[in-house]
Structure 1
Amino acid sequence: MKKKIIILTAFVGMMLLSACSDFLDRKPLTVPGNETFLASREQVENYINGLYLALPAPTQYGMGVRGEEKNSDNILAEKYDRRLNGENNEFSGASEWSKGYQNLRNVNYFFHYYCVPEGVESDDIRSLRGEAYFLRAYWHFYLLTRFGDIPLMNDFWDNNATVAGLQIPSSKRADVARFILSDLKAAVGEVAEANAKLYSRDKYQGLRINKEAATILAMRVALYEGSWEKYHKGTQFVTEDNSEEFFKEVLAWGDEKLFPAKLTLNTMETDKDAVEKGDPFAHLFNKSDLSQVQEAVFWKKYSLSGGVFHNLSALLAAGTVDGQGPSGLSKSLVDNYLNEDGTFIDPTDEKYKNFNVMFEKRDLRLLETVMHTNCKYRSTVGAKGSKPMNVKAFDLDNDDNNKEISSPGLNGDGTSKNVTGFHIRLGIDTTFVDGNSETAIILFRYAEGLLCYAEAAAELDKWDDNVAGKTLKPLRERAGVKYVAPQSDPHFPFTGLTPVLQEIRRERRSELALQGFRLDDLMRWRQAGILKGVEGRGRGAYLGEDEVLYQSFSPDARKSLRLVLTDKKGWMDPLYQYLPNGYLFNENRDYLLPIPPDELQLNHELHQNPGWGDVSE
């Protein structure tokens, strides 16, 4: 298998092309035997394996998805996201456009040259064809979330490689979403002529694209489009409201496919390695093998012996949040989590100035996501000088009492410097000592499907005890939080919501934090505006001299704390110098990326997204 992947990687590398405009300048395809290349099960599997390489996963030397959410209000980073601050230009969408269409071309190459004889199309091959339909849906959705209306690439465009042939108009975003859903229906076997039918997760223990993953992707797509059309209604970003149609699609996929699949959440009852109550959630992110964890519907396995690894464990063990510079998790994220009795906190309460009190009797997901006292960064046995975080007042009279103090890295340097006091715990492998890492990464998870279903039901006014009992209630119970009927929280960042929708949005943030969902949620809800203004740029922990975080540093170390930016009330305000007025997100433009100018010049059927002008005119 390793030899196959290496060969296929080289093959795919020869085929890769960027967007439409590159067709006129490219060299002819030089792959051997196009007409008969995809004629056997082995050839089909090898080709599909190569398409997996483009799916998101930690790069060998980067934070991957764990550090991605500086594009939202979950991570505050000195190298802040340019889009959030309105600093994008007309070329800012070029790489995303190219990436999306490049991967679509590779998938359509498969459909164009597929030539397995009808008589030998086994169930294995039909499932592999289902994977191709899934991937075509996946990359269309990637483009939809970034550009809205786009040309559908439902064929192999090489045959259109002339200026006239590439005059392809964009489809309305609703039609793009419908096309994506039709491809996913083909993937799971609902379209006879597609000759495709994905296996269920159990066949490969979640290591290959499967029926349940396609179901969750369909629910993700339908929820995204439904909420986009509802909340952007009346703006230049949407021309019609089909939200009810798409919300109903979410429920249909849930009722007909997700729940009948009999997946389970990872809980104390199902996780044989769980000891502490927070372990079932934590183990989704810090284990190398998730084959027996049904909640991990589709995941990527790493293997040091196989030469497939990343260095995320080393970065997390060093306290890194963003691999590009100083950063930290936001107080806003910490404030989102409930108390264990199901009540929400009052973030203005003076008691939360105490760093340790912030984590007392709270949602277990907070404790597993954010570093706090008694948490390990790595193994304390084999890693010299490593010790758990321990925030307590420095004893000026007896230095022996200070040996176990280990404060957040506020006075560090480089990427290990934390600017909020809140380090990432999610994904830390406490058995890690040094070297490379093989912790698994989940791409699709059962919990997301439950959250999609809950939100669509609430949007359709179909929320009841039955829906709560199979969505929010089990998620909160797994997190050690008592489920109580939703009530209005005056401190919740989004206004104008019913208590039910408010709590569903809270639950998404708690359950899916640092997993790459927050930006898309802010965009589809039309809520990026909460980042604007002085308060919108975010805060960190309290660093006043009267509380334990400041007091946990030695007198010498406190001198460097004078360089830490705080607001007038003593809360860390790390982006004050960079964003004195808060983010300058342009709500009339930045909800969508600009279509690259060279694409507009080549394809006169395209029109630029709102607020960016139109160089084709």
Structure 2
Amino acid sequence: MKRFYLYIVLMAGLGICVSSCADFLDREPLTVPNNESFLSGEAQVRGYINGLYTALPSLAKFGMGVRGEEKNSDNILSEIYNKRLNGEETLFSSSEDWENGYKNLRNVNYFFHYYLVPEDMETEEVKSLKGEAYFLRAYWHFVQLKKFGNIPIMDAFWDEHATIAGLQIPQKDRGEVAKFILEDLDKAEKLLFNRSKYSGLRICKEAAMLLAMQVALYEGSWEKYHKNDEFAAATDQSAYFFGEVLRWGDMLFEQGIKLNTKETDGGVVNPGDAYGRLFNQNDYSNISEVLFWRKYSVTDGVFHALTGLVGGGVVDQDGPAGIAGDLVNTYLNADGMPVDPNNSKFKDFNETFKSRDLRLTETIMSSGYKFKSTAKGSRPMKVADASTGDKTINPPFLAGDGNAKNVTGYHIRLGVDTTYVSGDCETGLVLMRYADALLSYAEAAEELGKCDDEVLSKTLKPLRARAGVTYVTPARDPNFTDYGYTLTPVMQEIRRERRVELALQGYRLDDLMRWAADKVIVGKRGKGAYLGHDGVLYKSFAEDKHEALAKVLVDGNGWMDPLQELIPGGYQFNPKRDYLLPIPPSELELNKQMKQNPGWK
């Protein structure tokens, strides 16, 4: 790296900290530490670690954050489409990602370098804080691994070797990087407190176990599905990594964490609430499924804009967007059977949501639900529905403009503030959730040929039970997403479950990359709901809106086709290049030991 950064914000904000750091702000600048006193006691250690939390994902005072992130996949269609999906990234596109990742690693290693707490003062609290540092070093290496593949491992504070000669550090094969990450997480797990200590507000033992599962699953599937292409690891160790998922998962199961259900959550009233309440609460302290979360408080001046934007119909803060119809079609019927997206009944917007997986109506706006009362065009309109008679529905914002305009007919409901308050938002952000562990465990078990009924009974079956879906023995679904290779019926259902359970939570791109799923992307552009003049959706708009609706792009059969003019040939993702981001040319010029990623010349 050409430059080093000191990016430590010493504050107890964002609800992560549990003690004030104000006294620490008056100490000597971190750029000139006093090695005899710096990081030598619990207060200093806590203050420094609190600062490292600020780099973790958060919700901003402006913007959609994670909820709109999946326009980088096939889950959201946006007029401001993702450049990586369309093969438009350049050699210089990833410079900020590279620098930020190593900046964050440098900050963590700064902690280890100057950590001077005497052994007799290493309380359990101090040890757990040290465990948080190991977790964060693992976390940022994982971020870099996913983006860049083979990378230099930053296992020490490099400032003392900040010369051209000292920085000739070779990349490690991605398998070695993954094993280093797991070693750090093993150290973290042994030091960290359980979730119960800080109610999920700080990094905990269970979060370290889940991160280890995520790392092992990512690397195992990458090495399996990329073993015959340009992005293969030096050695295919996929079976080892899948085994690590199960080992860490077994450890996590012993912690007694439970899914959020009516039995565990007294706030559940309606059938879909057990899932929906994971995304619209200010406080997740008593929801044990949430292993790690971020708190916001208007009183403390720490708030965000997400719930207001979602309530106003925004899907992508950059421009008009909408949830992809393919995601909608992935949700099962309540009887456990897949839908046939070619069935003409789905021309009726209301039919799309009837007797389906409860997560569908918790994730996507449908008839009977409303946006914030202050939202543009939110006045309910009457429409004749042959099956139910006159029904009051909220038509999607198809005829407007700006970033609240919807291009597919499918708005986000996930996380909408059901009290419809206006102003600053303080809904918490879930960073890590137990359901992810169940999905990871089931996937790794099936990859190893071990996903029997016992495994399914503790992974997929409880997730479907919470969603009101009858569990049916998996059978091949001819309309399931084509990944370009054959999947077992069980793996189809695991991937289906992963897509819907984790929808709009920032997972989909990583999954497509590790599964070598370019066939899902290349030449595809996605569609939306039916907007033919004979359909409920069209009729839900007053006649004075029909002229505006005529400008909505549809295909020859009346289905919304928002990207037909922007990318007429579908996304042009390059499978020989775009699975990894380019290493910035300036870094290659500085460190001659590194090689550029495949396809980036």
The answer to whether the superposition gives a TM-score over 0.5 is yes
1:362 shift after superposition: 0.2
Q: Which residue of 2 aligns with 1:243?
A: 238
Alignment pair present for 1:418 and 2:406? yes
Of 356, 378, 402, 2:350 maps to: 356
Match of 2:579?
A: 591
1:511 is matched with 501
* Change in CA separation of 1:242 and 1:212 when aligned onto 2, cut-off 3 Å: same
SS of residue paired to 2:566? coil
Judging changes above 3 Å, is the alpha-carbon distance between structure 1 residues 7 and 572 closer, same or farther for their aligned structure 2 residues?
farther
Q: 1:164-563 counterparts in 2 under 5 A?
A: 164-189=165-190, 197-238=191-232, 239-255=234-250, 257-378=251-372, 380=373, 383=374, 392-393=383-384, 404-494=392-482, 495-533=485-523, 536-563=524-551
Q: Given the superposition, is the C-alpha separation of residues 462 and 555 from structure 1 closer, same or farther in structure 2, using an over 3 Å criterion?
A: same
Greater CA drift, 130-139 or 310-319: 310-319
- Give the aligned residue type for 1:39: S
Gaps of 5+ in 2: 1-11, 14-18
State the shift of 1:224 in Å: 0.2
Partners of 1:356 and 1:391 within 8 A in 2: no
Amino acid at match of 2:553: L
Q: Deviations over 1:40-93 (max 9, x none)?
A: 101000000000000001111110000000000000000000000000000111
- Deviation track 1:483-516 (CA, whole Å, cap 9, x = no partner) reads 1111100011134100011100000001000000
What SS does the corresponding residue of 2:550 show, helix, strand or coil?
Answer: helix
For 1:44-193, list aligned pairs within 5 A. 44-189=45-190
Shift of 1:406: 2.7
Please tell me whether the aligned partners of residues 454 and 467 of structure 1 are also in contact (alpha carbons under 8 angstroms): yes
1:531: how far off? 1.6
Tell me how far 1:33 sits from its aligned partner: 2.2
**AA at the equivalent of 1:413:** D
For 2:211, give the aligned amino acid: L
CA–CA separation in structure 2 for the residues paired with 1:67 and 1:388: 25
How far the C-alpha of 1:314 sits from its partner, in A, is: 1.0
State the Cα distance separating 1:554 from its structure 2 match: 1.1
Instruction: Indicate if the aligned counterparts of 1:372 and 1:389 stay in contact, CA closer than 8 A.
Output: no
Is 417-426 or 237-246 further displaced after alignment?
A: 237-246
Q: Is the Cα–Cα contact under 8 Å of residues 372 and 390 in structure 1 kept in the other structure?
A: no
Per the TM alignment, residue 528 of structure 1 is displaced from its structure 2 partner at its CA by 2.8
Verify the 8 A CA contact 1:340 1:482 in the aligned structure 2. yes
Identify which of 558, 577, 583 aligns with 1:570.
558
Q: Which residue of 1 is the match for residue 16 of structure 2?
A: none
Distance in 1, Cα, partners of 2:590 & 2:22: 36
Secondary structure of the residue aligned to 1:299 is strand
Distance 1:78 1:162, change over 3 A: same
- Deviation, 1:240, is 2.2
CA deviation map 1:402-459 (0-9, x unaligned): 9x55310001110000000000000001113210000011110000000000000000
Q: Deviations over 1:518-575 (max 9, x none)?
A: 0000000000331222xx1000000001110011111110111111000111110000
The aligned residue for residue 8 of structure 2 is none
Structure 1 unaligned regions, length at least 5:
16-28, 190-196, 396-400
The Cα RMSD (Å) is: 1.9
Alpha-carbon separation, structure 2, partners of 1:410 and 1:284: 29
Q: Secondary structure at the match of 1:600?
A: helix
Alignment check: 8 A CA contact 1:354 1:542 kept: yes
For the residues of structure 1 that align with 2:504 and 2:104, how far apart are their CA atoms? 25
After superposition, the Cα gap between the structure-2 partners of 1:344 and 1:306, relative to the gap in structure 1 and judged at 3 Å, is: same
- 1:193 alignment counterpart: none
**C-alpha contact 2:363 2:413 (8 A) present in aligned 1:** yes
In structure 1, C-alpha distance between the alignment counterparts of 2:382 and 2:108, rounded to whole Å: 52
Cα shift readout 1:248-302 (whole Å, capped 9, x = no counterpart): 00000011x1100000000011110111010010000001010000000000011
Change in 2 beyond 3 A, CA 1:125/1:480: same
Q: How far apart are the structure 2 equivalents of 1:235 and 1:492?
A: 25
SS of 2:214's equivalent in the other structure is helix
Tell whether the 8 Å contact from 2:381 to 2:541 is kept in structure 1 after alignment: no
- C-alpha separation between the residues in 1 aligned to 2:25 and 2:495? 40
Tell me if structure 1 keeps the 8 A contact 2:169–2:591.
yes
Would the alpha carbon gap of residues 5 and 425 (structure 1) be closer, same or farther in structure 2, given more than 3 Å must change? farther
Distance in 1 between residues matched to 2:344 and 2:418, nearest whole Å? 33
Tell me if the contact between 1:373 and 1:391 (Cα under 8 Å) persists in the aligned partners: no
1:284 corresponds to which letter in structure 2? L
The change in CA–CA distance for 1:168 and 1:58 in structure 2 (over 3 A counts) is: same
| Cα shift readout 1:177-218 (whole Å, capped 9, x = no counterpart) | 0000000000011xxxxxxx1000000000000000000000
Question: With structure 2 as the length reference, what TM-score do the two structures score?
Answer: 0.94
Give distance in 1, aligned partners of 2:375 and 2:415: 21
Give the C-alpha shift of residue 580 in structure 1: 0.4
SS in 1 for 2:278: helix
- The separation in 2 between residues aligned to 1:161 and 1:100, in whole angstroms, is 17
Q: CA deviation at 1:5?
A: 5.0
For 1:372 and 1:388, the matched residues in 2 are separated by: 14
Give the direction of change, closer, same or farther, for the CA distance of 1:8–1:427 in structure 2 (3 Å limit). farther
The answer for the alignment partner of 1:398 in structure 2 is none
Which TM-score applies when normalising by structure 1? 0.91
Contact 1:281 1:479 in 2 (8 A): yes
